[in-house]
Amino acid sequence: MLVHEQFEGEQLRKEVNADMDEFEEGVCDEAKKYKLGNVIRGLHGAFGKKFMACGMAAGLDEVTLMHGWIMGYLHHNQGKAVYQKTIESNFNIRRSTVTAILQLMEKKGYIKRSSVEGDARLKQISLTEQGTQTAVKAKAMIDDMESRLLEGIEPEQLEIFYEVAQKLMRNMNQ
């Protein structure tokens, strides 16, 4: 690891810890009084930073959060036909965004797009060997990160969280 990479990793860890301390020290209480969106935004930002810090520690500093999710999805759905439209709908992101993400992932060697017989416009997306190795490594890192994030949280509390999150998603989709 280069000195600047070590410094960047330490700096990111400090930022994540500072964000979590701030969140725990009252930003959460303040947000609860006013807006649920503040809590969601705070969790999203803290999760993203934690993901990047853990990714750097695991040697996955080239992988963005979205690349990790997509590679995990493709790895989980190996043997099934996955197209750009599949990713757009499963991740709820715009076509132009998915196009840019997939182009970058292809350029980095994580995925390949293959023409489908009968429709040259349709491209099936699959992981390359490098993408598969990265997906496996990222899954192990995410599983470890998730288990650390869930320390001290009872299964019943987690179940309530999931139920509330599902209700929030349903309400947002109305």
**pLDDT tens across the length of the chain (174 residues):** 444 444 455 555 555 555 555 555 555 565 556 688 888 888 889 988 888 888 888 888 777 878 888 999 999 999 899 999 999 999 999 999 999 999 999 999 999 999 888 887 888 999 999 999 999 998 888 889 899 999 999 999 999 999 999 999 899 888
Q: Is the pTM of this model over 0.75?
A: no
Per CATH, domain 63-137 is 3.40.50.300: no
Q: How far is CA 144 from the centre of its chain?
A: 14
Tokens of 148: 């650390």
Instruction: Give residue limits of the domains in the chain.
Output: 1-61, 63-137
In three-state secondary structure terms, 78 is coil
Q: How far is CA 120 from CA 102, 117, 138, 139, in A?
A: 18, 7, 32, 33
Tokens of 57: 């520690």
**One-letter amino acid identity for 30?**
E
